[in-house]
A and B are shown apart, each in its own frame.
Chain A
Amino acid sequence: DARVTQTPRDKVTEMGQEVTMRCQPILGHNTVFWYRQTMMQGLELLAYFRNRAPLDDSGMPKDRFSAEMPDATLATLKIQPSEPRDSAVYFCASGLRGGKSSYNEQFFGPGTRLTVL
């Protein structure tokens, strides 16, 4: 049963510290998304990649956030320095255009719950 994995599942850190979140997309999926979810804003797209190339990172605060795909099996999202307003659940999702699943269906990982004190 293929699924997206994310680590860590929970992270508590202090303001100013670097945070790195990792995601392993479903093998064979060519699109990877990073979202942030808060009660007030809901799910917001931060960045996404197709075939490891960044397509859009306009939703991401550029001064402190960065997203990369060093290889097809790993996507990373870094926050440096972290701030209390970054506290949220960060989801990674992957998809495959033209695959057996619905066009545009995204498969989500379990999320990383980040708390910045």
Chain B
Amino acid sequence: RKEVEQDPGPFNVPEGATVAFNCTYSNSASQSFFWYRQDCRKEPKLLMSVYSSGNEDGRFTAQLNRASQYISLLIRDSKLSDSATYLCVVNDPGGYQKVTFGIGTKLQVIP
């Protein structure tokens, strides 16, 4: 079983739609969780951290479910500019600042 699992997609959604991605992780001792965004042929960039209480940044909401060991990302009112690959990232409790990236979920927002 992979340490961090994501559905690679692609998710094709119309503009204005709401879309949600889930990600599961295997190490129950993990403490830090993130979503990164990667545009085509570009480097990954931090989108948002995921806190135990959940957090929201504009149209983006991230949530953590420790009991089921998954994190989610919800995007409301999708824009064409949201088209990208979204990477789920989980820290490795045994490694200083070491994290594991999921394969990424590709989102394509269609006009």
Contacts and interface: CB of A to CB of B under 8 A. Distances in A.
B97 interface: yes
B87 interface: yes
Interface residues of A, number: 23
Interface residues of B, number: 20
B43 A102 contact: no
B111 interface: no
Contacts, number: 51
Interface string A91-102: 100010100011
Contact of A43 (B34, B42, B44): B44
Contacts of B99: 104, 106
A41 B100 CA distance: 12
Contacts of A97: 96-97
Contacts of A109: 43
B61 to A, nearest CB: 17
B98 to A, nearest CB: 7
B29 to A, nearest CB: 15
Interface stretch (B12-20, B65-73, B101-109): B101-109
B98 A108 contact: no
A111 interface: yes
A110 B42 contact: yes
Interface in B12-60: 32, 34, 42-46, 49
